[in-house]
Structure formats: structure tokens, C-alpha cells
Structure 1
Amino acid sequence: MTLNPTRTLDELKALRELTGDADGAQRVAFTDLWVTARKFLTDKLADLPVEVHTDAAGNLWATLAGESSKELLIGGHIDSVPNGGWLDGCLNTLAGLEVLRRLSEQGKPPVTVRLVDWADEEGARFGRSLYGSSAAGGNIDVAEMQKLRDRDGIGLEEALERVGITLADAPNAREELKNAAAYLELHIEQGPVLEGLGLPLGTVLGTFGVERHTITFHGQAAHSGSTPMNVRRDAFRAAGQFSQEIYAIAERHSGVCTIGSCTTLPGIVTSVVETCEITLDQRNLEAHRLAAMWQDAQAAATQFAEEGGCTVTFGDLWNIEPILFHPELIEAADASILEIVPVSHRLPSGPLHDAAEVARAGVPTVMLFVQSLRGISHNKIEDTEEAHILQSVEALDRLTDRTMAWIGR
């Protein structure tokens, strides 16, 4: 049997019809439509000589036994954000399904090959991304996860119970990686780089490290009519000056910075702002540059606060170190792409992916990116040219063969 990327394209369209609506994909983790999407995948797997099971965290595994107990993992996630795109996550799983079909028809592979659909990669419902892969990677705090609630007040623990998963058992998913020798993941880029270069495919160098913090400027409330401008201690002014500086910080360190929210108190039109809290997200592929970005941000915030007669305090939200992918698998990914198209391009991933948690657990890892039109994702207009989708499935298949050979050296 030869690979049939057109079948993957057809299955992606079928899944879109089954689990989407006029606003986009609705495969939010642990909802009824997520269960429907999972059944769509398991029904396809039923035609293959694979062992299928759900692990202690809710990740779905399909195992094609090979000559060796060493395992090559191909991963993705079928869950989506609300009103999401038709390719984010599910391209990974359905392309991996097609690779499994090709391998199973050709006989026993040299190593065991496993397809995994990670549970709740997006974190859209409970605010904690990479839940399933974090559990498998040994990086989960059950006590913290028990505190998570969705917008309707439903806890993660309750949501998992509804689909037959016990949160307290989630750390046992660590067993799934005990024989893992390599991990591959195909994903849409979700950004504009490949389209800007006119290239369909790229090799991912790693995922950005992330620093997320709150920065709170403290001034003094005062009447907006009777207080002269030169004596105001305006917390919002200090925050506004700082917001411009983050662009210079990002450029200086070749990273990205985002102020995602801004809350003011007392929050009325007739008062100078007494308190202004912003959230800052900083990302970089190099750990020392990421650390320098946060140091520069604190220094700038302190400077603008003092200049405006204010003070500033800092709070921690979340952080993860940069995750660099395996250099030999990066070379293998480039070689696989170059068998399909004339040019490959190496680029970092700004968004996080399950691949980061798998690599963090010590498994040699690499990702392939396929071009995203307009660089848009997490949106119903997310799209990729069909020809590029077909090429991405071929590239993943070539990379699978290369990686099996690399494992067996």
C-alpha cells in the first residue's frame, strides 16, 4: 500500500463537517463534540492491526507493534479552541493515521510505532494547556489541577469523570513514555513566516520559553478636573509608557512581548487612575535572552513608575523554559522536506505544543510546520492550501522512515 494523502484531506473535511459549525471547530476538550471527534478517530483505527487504549490521563494511544520494543511516537491533538480552525491539532492526528495505514500494510515495522491523540492540548476550557502531554511527561500537579474550573463552574476533575478519567490517576500516564525513542509532530505553523517566504514546509527548531507576569503600577486617585497634570500620580500613564517600551525590549532580544490585559482602579471617568495592573507575556527561544527580557521589563517598569511618582509591584503567573528539539532529527526533518519541495526553512515555534512536554521529558523530538494562509489560527478562517496539506503528509511519512532508521542504528 502506498501513502494516500488525499484520504487525509478528505477525513479532515469530514471531521470539520461532523464537529464544526458556522463559527468554526467546536472540539473543546471533554465536551460531547470532543467525544464525537475521538470516536471518529477510533472508528478509523478499528480497520488497522493496532492496539488502542486510553491512558490514565485521557490520552488515546494506537500501537502498531514492531520488530523492536523501541517506540516511535507520532502525536497530535484532536481538541480545538471554541470557534477554532479546521486544521489545528487534527491535521497531526489524521496525518499520523495515514502513516500508520501505510506501515501496517507493508508488514511489521522495524520499531514499534504509536499514534497518540493528546488530551486537552489547547487548555481552552480550563486554562491549563498541554494537560495530557504534561501528565505523560511527569510534569503535572494534581492538587493545582483540582482547582481548575471552566466558565460554567465545572471542575476539570468533574469533566474528566464524565469521560471515564480519574484526575488523581493522571500521573500514571508517565508509563506511556518508558520505551519512547523519538517523537514526531506535524502542525500548521499558525504564523506568517512560511507564507511570507513563499514556502510550504519548514522544520521547527524548538518552542519558545515563556515568562508570564502581572505588573501593577500604584499611583493616587484624584479628581480628573481639579488635579493639574504636573502633580498627578497617574498609574495608567506609567503603564502606558511601559507598554511602548516592550516593543524595544522584544526587538533588542529577538523575542516577542505582549500586554494581554489592563485593569484600572477606581475605573471611573472622573478619577485619575490609582492602580493599573497589566499582564505581560514574553517569549524567546534562548533562555538567557528570555531572562534578560524579564530583567529589562522590570527595570523599565520601575523607571516609568518612579518618573510618574508611582510605585510598581510584580507577580508571577507562569513560565516554561525554551525547549530545543533534537539536532539529528532536525536534520532528518529538513532532508524529508527536501524530498518533497525544493527549499526547507528552519524556524522556532512561538506557540507551545505537546512536543515541548515530550522533549522536556527527555524524548528526542522534532516538529514539521506547514504553511498557514494569512498566518491565522484559532479562528474559523484558519486555512492551508490543499496542495500543501498533501505535501505535509508526505513529509511526515518520509520523516517517519528516517526516524525509524535513526532509532535502529
Structure 2
Amino acid sequence: MTNLLQPARTVAELKELRALTGNEDGAQRVAFTDTWVAARKWFRAKLAELPVEVHQDPAGNLWATLRGSSDKSLLIGGHIDSVPNGGWLDGCLNLVAGLEVLRRIAAEGTPPVTVRLVDWADEEGARFGRSLFGSSAASGALVPDDVRNLTDRNGVKLVDAVRPHGIDLDRATEARQELNNAAAYLELHIEQGPVLESMSLPMGVVLGTFGVERHTITFTGQAAHSGSTPMAHRRDALGGVSKLHLAIREIAVQHGGVCTVGKVTTEPGIVTAVVGEATMTLDQRHLNATSLAAMYTAAREASERIAGEEKIEVAWKKLWQIQPFPFHPTLIELCDEAIRETCGTSHRLPSGPLHDAAEVCRAGVPTIMLFVQSLRGISHNRIEDTREEHLELSVGALDRLATKAMAWISGQ
């Protein structure tokens, strides 16, 4: 690690941002709100101290560009927005650590390739329920008409909420031009899970982001009086949900993925009635596309079998789907080297949560992520935390990875 790098400064700046944009309930940097604007103003002030060009693209992503000897660019990304009552590290660690790496590179003169730091707009999707807004615009996956009329809890439409922040939704996908010369993308993130802590490891290499199948499943039976309807004569829709919930847990284990039922609703929803209709959400995730498809097929077949057993009907409605995004094999190896050189040992693991890195990977840019341990595996919560010594190690590992990635790009 070069002496020009000051990882302790990153920790201090993260605390500074927490004091500016958080309260006793946690971080409040929800995208397209006044607190988010304040956070970006704070970040722009930090960038003003560097020899970089700063601009906002048509999707609201904020870019800082340090020109190098080559137009080929190394991207380092993160997001300053948070969920409501969020943690102090989710998203902004990526960005503030990237800032420190950018400082070190700039202090050494003109880099061999152009280095760009990006703050993606609205990674979390906390206000409108649509995650990865800015990065999906850059990848070309965003369809403006699909999100135009999404509303927040106050009935404000997304198209109207983004306009005051210099974003014309119909021009958002012009952000794709920002990736024209991108040769590699690096993203540091807290793990948000318990794996690294359970192994007593500070950091790990991310192999890729899980693909997701997300559906609503509705079982329809017959509502009836709870006292006068014998058990043998019931067509209890909740029986379908109950059995399928247990079945999908076994399906996840069999295929090495994860399956979650996060919400169940019933009708008529009173204590004196057999459930006539029960609706559940199903979220299935896997790093392997074939295995993800097999989990989905197994869940569909299980639902139909269970419906027959319970003498009820079942219907599926797709909510959302995204394929797995395996990261670049060369960058995986370089990242592993950087972590071992920094921490002494490393571990390779997939990412269950989605990140902007998935959209950059979708766009065809060689991509890698590195995780730093999360205490208790908790995120999206005010108690989210990581040991300060691990945060400093993660800045060092990101810096080493940036150096290796610049050399790799230069040799292409």
C-alpha cells in the first residue's frame, strides 16, 4: 500500500457523512430527497479538491474523471443513497473508499489509463420500488415507460420526482455513452450477510450476483364458516401457501440456492372463516442460471401438486426477473491477489443482494466486487456495522486492485 493512501481518512469521512445525513434511526439518504442532495453536495466538495472533471449524466449519475494517458477507463463505483433508517456503510463505503483511491492515483501524476469514480443514482429504489435506476439506464436495461408512473407513498410520480434533479426520464438512457471506453469496473461493498464473519475473515472476492425469479402465487379455494365446515369438506387456500412455503425451503437446499416467502395475505382474513384466497410472494435466487431455472420449475410443479392435494386452484404472476451475472475471471483472480496481499487470506462467495455492478456487467464491462465483513450480517438497519480496522483494510485492498486493474487494462 502506498504511503499516499490514508484509509483512516475514509473512516473519518464516513462518520462525517453519517453525522450530516443520519439521525438516531439511521441513514436518511433516500434518493431524490433533500438529504440525498445534501450528501451529494458534501461529496462534490471533496471532489473539488482533486484534478478531476465532474458532471452529472442524463440519468442523474455523478461522474468524476481523472484523465489518463489512455482513453480506456477504469471505473470505480458506488452509491450515496440509502434506504430509510439505513446503515452508515451500505453504498457510501464504495464511494468514499473510491474517493481515497482516486486521491492516491491523482497524487502520483497522470495515470496510465483514465480513472472514473461514479455515484450511481438511486441504487436502492427505496422511494419508488425500482432498484438500480441510474446503472440500469447506463446499461440500457431501463425502459422509461415502465417506471414513469411509479409513485411514492405520497402519490408523487417518479417522472415528476426526478425532474427537479436535472433528470429528464425520456433522455435517461443516454447515460449509456458513459460506458463507451470502460475497460473494467470495481465495486467495494459491505457483505450484508454473515458468511465472512462466521469464517473470521475480513474480506472476500465476489464471484457474481445472483439471478432472481420473483413471483406472486395465488391459491384459490372456498371461503366457509370455521365452525360449521368439517375438515374433510374444506378447500382451504392457506393450506396451499403453507405447504408450498415448506416445499420451497427444501427446493433451495437441494439446488444450492435461496428461496424466500416474504409476504402472505388471506381473504376474507377473519378468524371465523376458512381462507378462500391466499396470496404469497416467492423470491428465488441462484448464481447459476440453469439451477435457478430448475428451482423455478420445481416450485411450479410443487404448487400444482399441492393444489391437487388441497382441492384448490393455483395461479402464478411474474413480478420481476434478472439473470445471474458472473464476474470477470481475470478480475476475480486479481481481486483475490489484492485481498490476500492486504489481509493474508481470502474467500470467494456470491452476492445474494443485487448491486449496480450487475448492471455494469450486463452492459459487457469486465466487472468485479469485493466484500468486507459485516458484523452480525445485518444491513439496511441502523445497527449495520463493520470493524474500523476491516474498513481500513478494505480501502487498501481496493487500492491494490485498482493498481492491478490499471496494469491489466494497459496490457490489453
Cα distance in 2 for residues equivalent to 1:171 and 1:356: 17
Query: What is the correspondence of 1:268-347 to structure 2 with a 5 Å cutoff?
Result: 268-347=270-349
Q: Which runs of 5+ in 1 are unaligned?
A: none
Cα distance in 1 for residues equivalent to 2:6 and 2:117: 17
Task: Specify the alignment match of 1:263 in structure 2.
Answer: 265
Work out which of the residue numbers 35, 42, 45 in structure 2 matches 1:43: 45
Task: Specify the alignment match of 2:133 in structure 1.
Answer: 131
Work out which of the residue numbers 346, 368, 371 in structure 1 matches 2:370: 368
Cα distance in 2 for residues equivalent to 1:262 and 1:393: 42
The amino acid of 1:200's aligned partner reads P
Residues 30-67 of structure 1 deviation map (CA, whole Å, 9 limit, x = unaligned): 10000000011000000000000000000000000000
8 Å contact 2:66–2:114 — kept in the other structure? Answer: yes
8 Å contact 2:58–2:166 — kept in the other structure? Answer: no
The amino acid of 2:225's aligned partner reads H
Query: What is the correspondence of 1:202-213 to structure 2 with a 5 Å cutoff?
Result: 202-213=204-215
Cα distance in 2 for residues equivalent to 1:63 and 1:118: 14
Cα distance in 1 for residues equivalent to 2:325 and 2:369: 12
Residues 64-105 of structure 1 deviation map (CA, whole Å, 9 limit, x = unaligned): 000000000000000000000000000000000001101111
Cα distance in 2 for residues equivalent to 1:51 and 1:342: 36
Work out which of the residue numbers 94, 99, 103 in structure 1 matches 2:96: 94
Task: Specify the alignment match of 1:405 in structure 2.
Answer: 407
Residues 267-292 of structure 1 deviation map (CA, whole Å, 9 limit, x = unaligned): 12211111101010000000000000
Task: Specify the alignment match of 1:358 in structure 2.
Answer: 360
3-state SS in 2 of match to 1:187: strand
The amino acid of 1:10's aligned partner reads A
Query: What is the correspondence of 1:25-64 to structure 2 with a 5 Å cutoff?
Result: 25-64=27-66
3-state SS in 2 of match to 1:230: helix
Deviation of residue 165 (structure 1)?
1.4
3-state SS in 2 of match to 1:33: helix
3-state SS in 1 of match to 2:343: coil
3-state SS in 2 of match to 1:206: strand
The amino acid of 1:78's aligned partner reads I
Task: Specify the alignment match of 2:115 in structure 1.
Answer: 113
Residues 142-194 of structure 1 deviation map (CA, whole Å, 9 limit, x = unaligned): 00110211111111111111212111110100010000000000000000000
3-state SS in 2 of match to 1:340: helix
Task: Specify the alignment match of 1:187 in structure 2.
Answer: 189
Cα distance in 2 for residues equivalent to 1:23 and 1:189: 21
Cα distance in 2 for residues equivalent to 1:323 and 1:134: 14
Task: Specify the alignment match of 1:77 in structure 2.
Answer: 79
Cα distance in 1 for residues equivalent to 2:259 and 2:235: 26
Cα distance in 1 for residues equivalent to 2:351 and 2:152: 27
Task: Specify the alignment match of 2:232 in structure 1.
Answer: 230
TM-score normalised by length of structure 2: 0.99
Task: Specify the alignment match of 2:179 in structure 1.
Answer: 177
TM-score normalised by length of structure 1: 0.99
Asked whether 1:164 is paired with 2:166, we answer yes
Deviation of residue 342 (structure 1)?
1.4
3-state SS in 1 of match to 2:285: strand
Cα distance in 2 for residues equivalent to 1:4 and 1:66: 22
Asked whether 1:389 is paired with 2:391, we answer yes
Q: How many residues align?
A: 409
Cα distance in 2 for residues equivalent to 1:24 and 1:162: 26
8 Å contact 2:70–2:114 — kept in the other structure? Answer: yes
Query: Comparing 298-307 with 370-379, which one deviates more in the overlay?
Result: 298-307
Deviation of residue 266 (structure 1)?
1.3
Task: Specify the alignment match of 1:154 in structure 2.
Answer: 156
The amino acid of 2:91's aligned partner reads G
Deviation of residue 241 (structure 1)?
1.0
Residues 216-267 of structure 1 deviation map (CA, whole Å, 9 limit, x = unaligned): 1010011110000111000001210111111100000000000011111111
Cα distance in 2 for residues equivalent to 1:223 and 1:4: 69
3-state SS in 2 of match to 1:313: strand
Residues 90-147 of structure 1 deviation map (CA, whole Å, 9 limit, x = unaligned): 0000000001101111000000000000000001110000000000011110001102
Cα distance in 1 for residues equivalent to 2:188 and 2:79: 11
